[in-house]
Amino acid sequence: MALMASSPYNNQIFLLPLFLLLLPIYAFAQNNITVGTSLTATQNSSPWLSPSGDFALGFQQLPNQKDLFLLCIWYDKIADKTIVWYANDGDTPSTAPTGSKASLTSDGGLVLTDRQGKELWKPNNIVGDVDKGVMSDEGNFMLQDTSSETLWETFKDPTDTILPSQVLEKGTILSSRRSETNFTRGRFQFRLQQDGNLVLNTINLPTDFANSPYYKSGTDEGTNSSTAGSQLVFNESGSIYVLRKNGERLSLVNGDIFSARDNYIRATLNFDGTFAQYYHPKNTSGSWTYIWSIPDDICQDVRVESGAGVCGYNSICTIKEEQKRPKCDCPRNYSLVDPNDDYGDCKPDFIQGCEEDELFRSKVHDFSDLYGVVEVINTDWPTSDYVQLKPFNGDSCKESCLSDCLCAVAIFRDGTCWKKKLPLSNGRVDNSLDSRGFIKVRKAEYSISPNGSNGLVQEVKEKDQDTLILVGSVLLGTSVFVNFLLGAAICVGFFFIYRKKGKTVLADQNVADMNLRSFTYKELEAATDGFKEELGSGAFGTVYKGKIQTGSSVVVAVAVKRLNFVVQETEKEFRNEVKVIAQTHHKNLVRLLGYCDDGKNRLLVYEYLSNGTLASFVFTDIKPSWRGRTEIALGIAKGLLYLHEECSSQIIHCDIKPQNILLDDYYNAKISDFGLAKLLMMNQSQTHTAIRGTKGYVAPEWFRNMPITAKVDVYSFGVVLLEIICCRRSVDSESNDEGKEILTDWAYDCFVEGALNVLVNWEAEALDDIKKLETYLKVSMWCIQENPALRPTMRKVVQMLEGVVEVHAPPCPYPAYSVTN
């Protein structure tokens, strides 16, 4: 018993000599790299590992570059091999072709050379002879002399990432990449200034000119030098702070702190300008998890007086809430200058200017015939103003821009109109603005090609001038009689030429108006990468994401619908129906760009809308704003009104549901799949028709011996309107609350009982707008009346939603009545 009681102490005494014996083995486990050792740039080459194997130094193949490699340090135990440091000369990464070597030398340290021995990169400012290289478990690679003094280390020469135990001294700079996969120096910097202030700022490439910071720690010397920052510290516990001269700490961490003992942790200046911290649990699969970032809203915080801003020129910045990172989009009728750079400059897909406008002055009554506007809400380019008009109203603001050849965009807010000219900078969406924006775009029939030529009008002018010169020369050199005969012949000739030309121009304009392109099946197969990325599927077919090249050599994203079956047997019938769809233009309808009629393969090519379906927008854990939802509902109603009453031939959709409502870059609603019901089922007006539509949205007359009219769409819209109001699906079979499974039934019960707060789950924004909430709810009840005769037309629906006409209390949607045959 005495022996057992003393055993812990005896064990410690016994283990001490063993521990001392293991010390040399532990030191050897650091896996020091000796001078003369080298790495070769090839696929699957062995890197230099840290003792734990967490980090590796070696070559990684550049994305989409078969024969180019990057000398870098990465996390070796996680799937994506995240890079935390890479060799670069300040502006560009020191890329290495296949067969290049990184050699450890005594005079140059780590030297990168190509196959011919040409030096590509080496560390700067090494004083002394290098004896060895050390790859540490913290992710730091060091060059040391014989006394183990560090001569150079990656922690003192960072790129875009810092790691636990890393310290940044004054003057140290992190530079962003150009993109996620482009390691060229980007436009953003994170640096500890000489005055002690930690800042984020943009630079105007290719220079180092620094714009005003969009983030400041406030630790500059100011009036008290003792409180100025001296270092930025990222400690092993996961904290990041500015260490002041007086020893105080200013923490940057505004989220949870994750220990580096159990997690991999990094802080990275992302290519889009946000500085963010991430963690990845050790010994698990998965991906990096966002912890926090600065600034909170980079779109609002960056305002560059002499540069583009967060996004490129003419672009619009919005914040992706999940990680507070920016998203850049070109306005409608604008496209990326470089299709591979989503954060780059945008250019108009038309030519605008005072000289160009003069070409059309004789052909238009006013410039509203020449230009249209794309209206945006709460969007601004705050540094592009050239005139301010006050007091003013919205319509006058729009007309002023349309008639001004210098104006590209007009923003109206609080009785003031700001007119802006190209290039537009610092574009952002700001929901606090309460503004309307009018982006001026040239109409298709008056388009001028962006390749420098002036299109049809200039071509006609030049030909007319050439003809007159030729005629004049002939007339001057001939007799009066011959001139008379020649003149008569020329007049006859011009009559037939211009008659033919007029027909051709009209035909070309019809094609331009329709803007429809015929594709082969192989073209669309290539555009969709073999129908690889599926966006969704339904009764009419499956939709795939693709990319096509437009006439101006701009690559644009498209949605390609592969039709399940087509009733029309002849090519002519199919194309006629497609033509009807293509000639149906409205801002709340998805635009058809082209089609394929290749044997049995029949496909439709639509514009691609980046914000997905209404279903993915409304049926989420985070409820979208009430105002945004009501605007979407009104947009859907206006789209249906156009289909039912305002287009050349009435179109009944037959399958209105959230999955068939798409949202553009600015969350404007656009109805998709219109016209497909007729294309795939022929005659909609017959009394006996196979049931079309989706469970929960189908009008009762589909199940009865009743004519199918536009009122079936009204019913479906009523159900969708309820879903938008409540942010829940029409049928919830998994609901635990009895009586709530069918939304239409439950909503009417809430309406009768006056329990609107329950219906919207006590949503403050909706209840603050109680009058509109009641109106929208009553409209939905009228739309879902079982008797189609009681349902309003879509014109009446729009008027009720806009508050133009009074909405009376609806009867019960499901009275006990029968329909006689």
Of 160, 272, 357, 655, the catalytic one is 655
How far, in Å, CA of 330 to CA of 315, rounded?
5
Q: Is the predicted pLDDT of residue 697 greater than 60, yes or no?
A: yes
Lowest-pLDDT range, 400-414, 621-635, 722-736?
Answer: 722-736
Q: Give pTM, 2 decimals.
A: 0.55
Tokens read off for 514: 């329709």
Distant-in-sequence contacts of 141-147, Cβ < 8 A, 24+ apart: 141/48, 141/57, 141/73, 141/85, 141/110, 143/109, 143/110
**Residue 120 contacts residue 114 (beta carbons within 8 Å):** yes
Q: Do residues 559 and 545 lie in contact, with contact meaning Cβ atoms separated by under 8 Å?
A: yes
Residue from 417, 425, 424, 403 nearest 354 by CA: 403
Given a cut of 80, whether residue 289 has pLDDT beyond it is yes
**CA-closest candidate to residue 645, choices 709, 570, 555:** 709
Position 575 scores a pLDDT of 78
Kindly state the average pLDDT of the residues 760-775: 91
Over the stretch 481-505, which tens digit does the pLDDT of each residue have? 444 444 555 444 544 444 444 433 3
Which amino acid, residue 140? N
Pick the range with the lowest mean pLDDT from 362-366, 476-480, 682-686.
Answer: 682-686
Q: What is the pLDDT of residue 365?
A: 56
B/e letters for 49-65, b = 16+ CB within 10 Å, e = fewer, are bbeeebbbbbbbbbeee
**How do residues 182-230 score in pLDDT, each as one tens digit?**
899 999 999 999 999 999 999 988 888 899 999 999 888 776 778 899 9
- For residues 384 and 406, the answer to whether their CB atoms sit within 8 Å is no
Alpha-carbon torsion, ordered 46, 50, 54, 56, to 10 deg: -40
Does pLDDT of 398 surpass 50? Answer: yes
The mean pLDDT of 712-738, rounded to a whole number, is 87
Q: How do residues 25-59 score in pLDDT, each as one tens digit?
A: 333 345 689 999 999 999 888 999 999 999 999 99
Crossing angle, helix 626-641 and helix 711-726, to 10 degrees?
170
Q: Is 803 exposed, middle or buried (0-12, 13-18, 19+ CB in 10 A)?
A: exposed
Q: What is the DSSP string of 723-759?
A: HHHHTS-SB-TT-SSTT-SBHHHHHHHHHHHT-HHHH
pLDDT tier, 796 (very low <50, low <70, confident <90, very high otherwise): very high
Taking 90 as the threshold, does the pLDDT of residue 3 lie above it?
A: no
Let me know: does 795 contact 649? Beta carbons within 8 Å. Answer: no
3-state SS assignment for residue 619:
coil
157: three-class secondary structure by DSSP: coil
pLDDT at 820: 36
Phi, psi (rounded to 5 degrees) for 717 = -60, -40
SS3 10: helix
- List phi, psi (to 5°) of 504: -65, -45
Instruction: Give 443's contacts (C-beta < 8 A, 6+ positions apart).
Output: 369, 370, 371, 372
Distance CA 495, CA 422 (A): 43
302-342 per-position pLDDT tens digit? 988 888 889 999 999 998 877 788 999 998 888 888 888 88
Tens-digit pLDDT profile for residues 139-193: 999 999 999 999 999 999 999 999 999 999 999 999 999 888 889 999 999 999 9
Identify whether the C-beta of residue 32 lies closer than 8 Å to the C-beta of residue 24. Answer: no
For position 83, what pLDDT does the model report?
A: 95
CB 84 within 8 A of CB 153: no
User: Rounded to whole angstroms, how far apart are CA atoms 643 and 650?
Assistant: 6
Structure tokens at 123: 């560390």
In the numeric block, the tokens 């007799």 are attached to 479
> How many other CB atoms sit within 10 Å of the CB of residue 758?
13
Query: Vertex 557, ends 553 and 561: CA angle to 5°?
Result: 125
Mean pLDDT over 740-768 rounds to 90
Q: What is the mean pLDDT of residues 689-699?
A: 63
In this predicted structure, what is the pLDDT of residue 667?
84
Q: Which domains does the chain have, with CATH numbers?
A: 33-290 (2.90.10.10), 296-452 (no CATH), 455-514 (no CATH), 609-821 (1.10.510.10)
- The secondary element (H helix, E strand) that includes residue 279 is strand 275-281
User: What does the pLDDT read at residue 498?
Assistant: 42
Give the side-chain half-sphere CA count within 13 A for 530: 0
Q: Helices 794-801 and 770-783 sit at what angle, rounded to 10 degrees?
A: 170
Q: d(Cα 160, Cα 500) in Å, to the nearest integer? A: 64
pLDDT band at 566 (very low <50, low <70, confident <90, very high): low
398-425 b/e (C-beta count within 10 Å ≥ 16 → b):
bbbbbebbebbbbbbbeeebbbbbbbbb
Average pLDDT, the chain: 81
pLDDT at 170: 92
Amino acid residing at 609: L
pLDDT for res 614: 93
Quickly tell me which residue has 């001296």 as its tokens: 230
What gap in Å lies between CA 742 and CA 733, rounded to an integer? 8
Joined tokens for residue 806 = 């009074």
Q: Residues 207, 211, 214, 220: is their CA dihedral positive or negative?
A: positive
655 is catalytic: yes
The better pLDDT of the pair 601, 443 is held by: 601
**CB-CB contact of 559 with 546 (8 Å):** yes
Residue 318 token pair:
């919005």
Which pLDDT band, with edges at 50, 70 and 90, does 259 fall under? confident
- Name the binding residues for ATP: 561
Where b means 16+ CB within 10 Å and e means fewer, 434-451 reads ebbbbbbbbeeebebebe
Cα(491)–Cα(494) distance, rounded to whole angstroms?
5
Which ranges of 515-570 does DSSP label H, i.e. alpha helix? 521-527
Q: Which candidate, 627, 697, 701, places its Cα nearest to that of 658?
A: 697
| Least confident among 341-345, 540-544, 732-736 | 732-736
pLDDT at 25: 36
Output the CA–CA distances (angstroms, integers) from residue 298 to 67, 266, 301, 318, 432, in the order listed. 37, 20, 5, 9, 15
Q: Is residue 679 within 8 Å of residue 578, measured between CB atoms?
A: yes
Residues 735-749, mean pLDDT to the nearest whole number: 81
Distance of CA 327 to the CA centre of its chain: 5
Tell me, what's the pLDDT at 53? 93
Binned at pLDDT 50, 70 and 90, residue 94 comes out as confident
Q: Indicate left, alpha or beta for 780 from its phi (over 0: left) and psi (-120 to 50: alpha).
A: alpha
Which pLDDT belongs to residue 574? 76
Task: Provide the pLDDT for residue 1.
Answer: 34
Q: How confident is the model at residue 364 (pLDDT cuts 50, 70, 90)?
A: low
d(CA 150, CA 142): 6
Which pLDDT value is given to residue 66? 77
Annotated binding site, which residues?
561
C-beta of residue 714 within 8 angstroms of C-beta of residue 794: yes
Question: What's the CA gap between 440 and 421, in Å, rounded?
Answer: 10
Residue 419's pLDDT is 96
Q: Which contacts (CB < 8 Å, 24+ apart) does range 796-801 have?
A: 797/637, 797/640, 797/641, 797/714, 797/717, 798/634, 798/637, 798/638, 798/641, 800/775, 801/630, 801/633, 801/634, 801/637, 801/775, 801/776
pLDDT, tens digit (0-9, with 9 covering 90-100), for 108-122: 899 999 999 999 999
Question: What is the SS3 assignment for 646?
Answer: helix
